[in-house]
Structure 1
Amino acid sequence: MDLSEKSAQNMAYMVQAITAKLKMVNTAALQSSQFSIDRYDDLFDLYEMVMKKNTFSPNEMQAIVEELGSLKKD
Structure 2
Amino acid sequence: MDLTVQSEENLHYMIEEIKRKLQVVNVGAIRAEGFDLQHYEDIFDIYEMLNRQSRVSVREIEAIIAELSKFRKEEK
Q: Post-superposition shift, 1:20? A: 0.4
Taking structure 1 as the reference length, the TM-score comes to 0.94
Q: Which amino acid aligns with 1:52?
A: R
Q: Post-superposition shift, 1:16? A: 0.4
- Give every structure 1 segment of 4 or more consecutive aligned residues whose post-TM-superposition deviation is greater than 4 Å: none
Aligned residues: 74
CA RMSD after TM alignment: 0.8
**Structure 1: stretches of 5+ with no match in the other structure:** none
SS in 1 for 2:61: helix
Counterpart residue number, 1:48? 48
Taking structure 2 as the reference length, the TM-score comes to 0.92
Counterpart residue number, 1:15? 15
What percentage of aligned pairs have identical amino acids?
A: 38
**Structure 2: stretches of 5+ with no match in the other structure:** none
